[in-house]
Amino acid sequence: MIGRNDPCPCGSGKKYKKCHGREAGGAQALADAEIKRIMAAYIQHAPSKVDRAELSLHIKTWMTRLGGLMETEVIEGAAFEHFLFVVNSKLWENHLDSALSRTAREEVKTVLRAWRKPFVLMAAVNGKESGHFVMADVFGKEKRSMRADAGKDAPAGTVFFGIVLPDPREREDGVQPVTTLYSIPAESAWVTSKIREMADSEGTEPDAEFLARRLMDVFHLLFSPQVPDAAPVQETGNREDGTAVAETAETAAPAEEAAAGQETELPEGLTAGQEKAAVMLASELAADQEPEKTIGQIRNVLVSYFIEENPIVRKPGGWVAGAYLAAQEAGRLSGEPFNAKEAAERFGVSAATAQKYASALSGQMAE
C-alpha cells in the first residue's frame, strides 16, 4: 500500500498525497469510514454472541484484582477489550472474515487481513517522523510507528502500552490502538525490568504472547505505587472513531430531576451513585409508559445487583442503558426494539459500556 508521504509512482517527484493521491482522496475516505464501521460493529454487537456470564466473571476478576488502583471505568474497559480481542480472538477473526466477504474495496481488505492478529504493544518512543511516532519494541527487535494525533506529543523514552492492531494504511510498520493506549513516562521505565522478572519467573520471554496472557498482572504492576517518586501511568487518549471502551463522558441529570414524580422507596445502604441510577431507571421507564409492575421489577433487579456486588457507580447512565438492554433481551419491555448503539446514545455512554452493564444484569433480569 502506498503511503501518503511516499513518492508518487507516476514519477512526478511529488509526494503521493500531493499528486495522484488527491484523486484517491474521496475513495480513501470512504474506505476509512467503512473500516471504522467494521470496528464499531464488533465492539457494539460481539458481547451478544458470547457467554454473558463468562464476560461478567472476567470483568469481576479484573475488578477484584485492580480495584483501588485504577478508575472503575478504566478497569472495566481494559477487561472488556481483553475479553473481546484476546480471550475470544476467534470471534474477532470470524467478524473480520464476514466483513471481508462483504466488502469490495481492496484498501479495506488489506487492512482487515492485517487486523487478524491483535497484540499487546510495549514500545519505546525514539522520535517523531512525518506525523508518526517512531518506536521500538521494549522486549523485541521490531520497529513500530503510530500516527501522532494533532496536539499529541511524547518525549523520547516514553513507553506506549496497550492492545493494538497492525495498520498498513500509511506505513508498513504502522499500528493503531484498539481503543486506548497507556503512556509510561521515561522516568518510570523501571517497570519493564519488573515485567522481565515476571517472565523470568515462568522461564519464558516477555513477548507479546506473555503480555497478552498476563495483561491483568501487568496493569497491576503499572498502577501499583511501588516506587514513590515514579511518574504515573497515563492514558494517551482514545481513537477518533469514538468506539472507546473506557468511557469518559459524564452522564446526566441529578437524581432529584430524574426522579420527578417517581416514588423511589429504595433500601438503605445504597451509595449516591447507585441511588441515582435506580431513580433514573424508574423515571425513564415511566416516561416510556411501561406498567408500574414492570418498572418495579426492572428497578429491583438493578438494586439487587447493587446490594450484592456493591459496584462504584460514577456514570448512572451506563447502568440504565445496560438495564434497558438486559430487560429487552429478557422480553420485559413493551416498546419498540432498539440496539446497543441506540440505548447508549440515549443515555450518553458508549455502546461498549451499555453492553458491559447489560452483561452484568442479564442473569438476574432473565429470572
Query: 231 and 129 in one domain?
Result: yes
How far out from the chain centre does Cα 158 lie? 22
Terminal-residue alpha carbon distance, the chain:
53
Report the CATH number that the domain containing residue 173 is assigned in CATH: 2.40.50
Report if residue 72 sits inside a domain: no
Report if residue 146 sits inside a domain: yes
Query: 131 and 206 in one domain?
Result: yes
How high is the pLDDT of residue 262?
A: 40
**What domain range includes position 305?**
272-366
Query: 315 and 209 in one domain?
Result: no
Q: Kind and range of the H or E element at 38?
A: helix 21-45
- At position 81, the amino acid (one-letter code) is E
Report if residue 258 sits inside a domain: no
Boundary-marking domain end, from 185, 216, 237: 237
Q: How many CB atoms lie within 10 A of CB 311?
A: 20
Report if residue 230 sits inside a domain: yes
How high is the pLDDT of residue 41?
A: 82
How high is the pLDDT of residue 27?
A: 61
Report if residue 17 sits inside a domain: no
Look-up: residue for cell 515514579? 230
Instruction: Take residue 227 and report the three cell numbers written for it.
Output: 516506587
Query: 202 and 302 in one domain?
Result: no
Report if residue 92 sits inside a domain: no
Boundary-marking domain end, from 179, 213, 237: 237
Report if residue 24 sits inside a domain: no
How many domains does one find in the chain?
2
Which residues in the chain show pLDDT less than 70?
Answer: 1-6, 8-28, 47-51, 150-151, 189, 225-265
Boundary-marking domain end, from 237, 260, 295: 237
Cα 258 to Cα 298: distance, rounded to the nearest angstrom: 16
How high is the pLDDT of residue 21?
A: 57
Q: Kind and range of the H or E element at 75?
A: helix 72-82
Cα 292 to Cα 296: distance, rounded to the nearest angstrom: 6
How far out from the chain centre does Cα 196 lie? 26
* Mean pLDDT, the chain, whole residue set: 80
Report if residue 338 sits inside a domain: yes
Query: 220 and 137 in one domain?
Result: yes
How high is the pLDDT of residue 101?
A: 93
